Amino acid sequence: MNDIISQIQFSLKNYADLPALSDYQQKSMTYEEVGKTIAKLHLYFELFEINPGDKIALIGKNSGHWANIYLATLTFGAVIVPILPEFKAEDSERIIHHSDAQLLFIEDHFFDQMETAHLPQLKAIFNLSEFELLYSQKNFENLHDNYERQLKFKYPNGINVQELDFRIPEPEDLAVISYTSGTTGFSKGVMLPHRSLNGNIEFARDNMPLKSGNRIVSFLPLAHTYGCAFEFLFPFTLGCHITFLTKTPAPKIIMKAFAEIQPHLILSVPLIIEKIYKTKIVPALQKPMTAFLMKMPILKSIVHQKIKQQLMEVFGGNFKELIIGGAAFNPEAEKFFRLIKFPFTIGYGMTECGPLIGYASWDTTVLGGSGRPVDALEVKIDSPDPEHTIGEIICRGSHLMLGYYKNPEATQATIDQDGWLHTGDLGLMDAQNNILIKGRSKSMILGPSGKNIFPEEIESLLLNMPMVAEALVVDRNGKLTALVYFDHAEMEQNHLGENQIPALLQQYKKAVNQKLPGYMQIKDIKLQVEAFEKTPKRNIKRFLYQQ
């Protein structure tokens, strides 16, 4: 079973009685119930004359219904087009039109914002919860009315999950079109074939600590490959119980869910972990008694052990590993977590690889590393001396996309003639093949002395400062300028007013510059009055603030 369709089919039949999908604090669906739902959706596809290779779009927040539609589309041989619910209606319409989607499944309140006149190629639109028909072309209305009769005709004795037999696609067959939202421009449709999904899931099954019957909490956006592959598809193929946090969760809600569900594996973006470090750990370390104990080697280890235990409990106390990905992790937080031997690791990937490029288990990874190349990929640094001279990270292998949908120019600009995908990330690779990411080529600033400056390194120092919620470093007229947005709730808690911000900014500028070499030092620091505009992946749209 080296393909995901066979693995899904195996789970439906062999874990039939186990809980499969739950919306948080709601009744769970068993694997058998998921299988029956998939069979019913397949009949909808047939009635609306969908063929293998046709596109089906999906808009909604994480939920069991979302997962059922995704699985049904894959196992039918159609192509799923997951669209982030954070996109504006006109952007979603543009993606649906560009992808050539013929069916759309959507949450009711998102449908209310859509203009069906802008989507003439759609045969039908269904809501996400009950699969109720919201819109169809005239010649399809009667087919939906006859659905129950057709279901009885196809399954006269009811649906038997043990008899389901899905078509196994070819490795090069298109499975997903994922529309990314980059920080430098419009979304492109990443075409992921089945071999990419297969490779990612197979690597996870071989290397990540999860097994049948384990529990996992899904709160990363399923419309992105990171959350979809490792919080949903990979656990599903193992017979795990997946609980979806159906609303965009605040850290407090996530921690509550972890305490109740006690997941066996946790995936996260850095923002959640950094928030816990900054609000829970740093204040504890700054207490006079803790600071005193930390000066004594024997007691220091006891303090570290106590902090580690408290952290483990914050995440439910039952997990084997916490995997961080999606963005750079704060170096100060990483260093402390390594010091207390907290079981976390940092992975590396991008949508164009479905997403995994680098991974290493928590007990084999290195400080500052983002894993080692996965088995199915060649990864190298485009540099004459990859261990010491920074270069672009490039890769090739079975995880790679087919290209960008209907965009050969962008495809050729990203994948060269020898099959190497140019990630746009800059880094090093040590003698043990650990990938050490330094920044994005598009955000790199060339200093006056000709030295490369990676703004992410300076931003991470600013983000360690009290009350700083967001930071961005840009080049303005040859001057390295820091833009800082303050956490107003944290300021209120510390009884600080707006009039104290200018002094704080200068204080932070001085503190950061003391840790930086001369060519990287901030020349100017300014208040960012409103939160930075971001992509749905929560990356700051850096290009908007260059001027």
Query: Mind listing the domains of the chain with CATH numbers?
Result: 4-244 (3.40.50.12780), 267-317+320-440 (3.40.50.12780), 446-545 (3.30.300.30)
Q: Round to whole Å and give the CA distance between 434 and 1.
A: 30
If you average pLDDT over residues 370-380, what whole number do you get? 97
If one counts every other C-beta atom within 10 angstroms of the C-beta of residue 517, the result is 10
**What is the predicted pLDDT for the residue at 406?**
94
Both tokens of 279, joined, read 């609000």
Largest CA distance in the chain: 79
Q: Round to whole Å and give the CA distance between 254 and 372.
A: 29
What b/e string do you get for 389-405 counting C-beta neighbours within 10 Å, with b at 16 or more?
ebbbbbbbbbbbbbbbb
277 HSE (CA, 13 A, CB side): 20
Pick from 73, 20, 86, 24: nearest CA to 219 = 24
If you average pLDDT over residues 445-456, what whole number do you get? 74
Q: Round to whole Å and give the CA distance between 83 and 112.
A: 16
**pLDDT tens by residue, 46-64:** 999 999 999 999 999 999 9
- Structural element, H or E, at residue 379: strand 377-382
- First CA to last CA across the chain, in angstroms? 53
**What is the predicted pLDDT for the residue at 183?**
39
If you average pLDDT over residues 114-131, what whole number do you get? 90
**What is the predicted pLDDT for the residue at 245?**
92
Q: Give start and end residues of each alpha helix (H) in 446-495.
A: 455-462, 488-493
Both tokens of 432, joined, read 């043990």
**pLDDT tens by residue, 245-261:** 987 677 788 889 999 99
**What is the predicted pLDDT for the residue at 448?**
64
Computed over every residue of the chain, the mean pLDDT equals 91
**pLDDT tens by residue, 280-338:** 888 888 888 887 887 888 888 888 899 999 899 989 999 999 999 887 888 889 999 99
**What is the predicted pLDDT for the residue at 185?**
45
pLDDT-above-90 percentage for the chain: 67
**What is the predicted pLDDT for the residue at 186?**
59
If you average pLDDT over residues 110-136, what whole number do you get? 90
* Residue 285 dihedral angles phi and psi, to the nearest 5°: -70, -25
Q: What is the pLDDT confidence band of residue 75, given thresholds at 50, 70 and 90? A: very high
* 139 has a pLDDT exceeding 80: no
pLDDT-above-70 percentage for the chain: 97
**What is the predicted pLDDT for the residue at 450?**
64
Check if the beta carbon of residue 32 is closer than 8 Å to that of residue 16: yes
If you average pLDDT over residues 330-352, what whole number do you get? 93
**pLDDT tens by residue, 160-211:** 999 999 999 999 999 999 997 543 445 789 999 999 999 999 999 999 999 9
* Three-state DSSP state, 530: coil
Both tokens of 294, joined, read 């930390």
Q: Round to whole Å and give the CA distance between 526 and 532.
A: 13
If you average pLDDT over residues 272-281, what whole number do you get? 84
Query: What is the torsional sign of CA 4, 215, 226, 87?
Result: positive
Q: Round to whole Å and give the CA distance between 183 and 360.
A: 27
Pick from 379, 363, 327: nearest CA to 348 = 327
**What is the predicted pLDDT for the residue at 222?**
93
Beta strands 524-527 and 479-486, pairing class: parallel
If you average pLDDT over residues 470-478, what whole number do you get? 89
pTM: 0.85
* 444 has a pLDDT exceeding 80: no
CA-angle at 5, arms to 95 and 40, nearest 5°:
75
> How far apart, in Å, are the Cα atoms of 120 and each of 110, 116, 137?
18, 7, 9
* 394 has a pLDDT exceeding 70: yes
> How far apart, in Å, are the Cα atoms of 467 and each of 13, 108, 489?
52, 38, 9
* 544 has a pLDDT exceeding 90: no
* Three-state DSSP state, 85: coil
